[in-house]
Amino acid sequence: MYILALVATLYHLSGSATVTALYPLLRVAGMTVGSTLSPVITLKLRLSRLLATCLGGQALGLSLLAVYMLVFGNEHPNVALLVGIVFLISILEGVASPVRSSLVALTVPEYSLLKANGVLAGVVQTCSLSGWTIGSIVVSWLGAGQVLILAALLLFGAWGASSLIRENDAALSDTAPATSWLCLIQTGWRQYYRVPELRVLLWMDIWEGLFRAVFAGALLLVFVGDRLHADEIWWGWLNGAYLGGFVIMSLFISRLSGYMQKLGLMLAVGSGCLASFTFGFGFLSTPLAALGVMLALGASQSVKDLAERTLYQTSVPPSELPPVFAAQSSIISLLYGVSLLLSGWIADTMGIQALYFFAAAAFAVSSAGALIYRKAFSSRQKETGTMEAVVD
């Protein structure tokens, strides 16, 4: 909801489509900066306290924006001030993202990680689907300033809830190393170099990240118009089908996590199906068929993401997870910006259909990494699966 409100606010203050289009770039840049600095900050505060600080800071930033919009915005528009606050909020969001992922492994036993990740992914995507569905209606009904207040109140609620989180003290590191900021920032990347499993997962993230934007935003809208020859309403339905498939599969996996013990197999199946369905999507010419394929794409993405996240959480000790997830978050944020530019260039020069063929090829290279992971580290996954079955 607050993303929609911020986009509306940018347009209201500037009246410029160019300035408004800067929001995705600002958000990606801010999240990349936040993720990069996250390893330094995580050594200063407990993760639960750091998460609460980030949520409180975002809520405060949105409150300031709302006050500005309601009191001063109409008479003295200051786009620079608005852009600055948006950038700072994105930095806090970039810090909080790896912290949330690390906290799961610090609060949940290893044998329940897949179940916990499935529940959280289902909740997050359900809220995302609801937010995009009703957000534009609420913004047009109440106005951007009032929606920013509502979003700030919700974030203050999240800030209060985060104070109830308690990490497993036994998994935390007691002492912080005395080293430079640069060395701390490099900690997560050194883990990628040290742990072979993480290098394979990084390979997958890079290839998928190069075309992560193909099922979001204007590119899908172009496909609906140029390839499907359908109305814009199908754009919303396709987005809803994708998120719906993701939510359904995430909750399904959380219910049957005790039987899904081979994470390497899940990773290979999910990434392979993602590449196959993306390739098939490029050939579609009817909206109804596209709706079904988008549902399958969302489900495939869910299987792949849940397996990958759980593998990340079990590849290193929980106390070493924050810098690893910070490195992953920074590369994903950076690649998303690259993906927007690369995908737009391919769509303009070669056509929107060719874009999805290129994406399918990149996803296929990513899925090759999943096959390598399964073959090289299958014995480790069998041990994890056995422990899961015994405990459940």
Q: pLDDT by residue (tens digit) across 106-142?
A: 888 888 888 889 999 888 888 887 777 777 778 778 7
Q: Is residue 175 in some structural domain? A: no
Range with the poorest average pLDDT among 37-41, 239-243, 325-329: 37-41
- CATH value at residue 130: 1.20.1250.20
153-162 contact pairs (CB < 8 A, 24+): 153/59, 154/1, 155/2, 155/55, 155/56, 155/58, 155/59, 155/62, 156/56, 156/59, 158/55, 158/59, 159/52, 159/55, 159/56, 159/59, 162/48, 162/51, 162/52, 162/55
Please classify residue 345 by burial: count the beta carbons closer than 10 Å to its beta carbon, then call 0-12 exposed, 13-18 middle and 19+ buried: exposed
In this structure, is residue 102 part of a structural domain?
yes
156 secondary structure, DSSP code: H
Name every residue whose Cβ is closer than 8 Å to that of residue 330 and which is 6 or more positions away in sequence: 32, 35, 36, 94
Q: Which tops the pLDDT comparison, 261 or 188?
A: 188
Residue 392 within any structural domain of the chain: no
Assess whether pLDDT exceeds 90 at residue 358.
Answer: yes
* Residue 168 falls inside a structural domain: no
pLDDT at 75: 58
From 131-135, 158-162, 304-308, the region with the lowest mean pLDDT: 131-135
Q: Is the predicted pLDDT of residue 386 greater than 50, yes or no?
A: no
Residue 270: C-alpha distances to residues 7, 108, 125, 304, 337 (Å): 33, 24, 18, 4, 24
The span from the CA of 254 to the CA of 258, in Å, is: 9
Enter the tokens of residue 371. 């096959």
Report residue 122 CA to chain centroid gap.
13
**Does 276 reside within a domain?**
yes
Total structural domains within the chain:
1
Q: How confident is the model at residue 392 (pLDDT cuts 50, 70, 90)?
A: very low
Whether 89 contacts 30, CB under 8 Å: yes
Q: For residue 215, give its domain range.
A: 1-162+181-387
Q: Is the residue at 267 inside a domain? A: yes
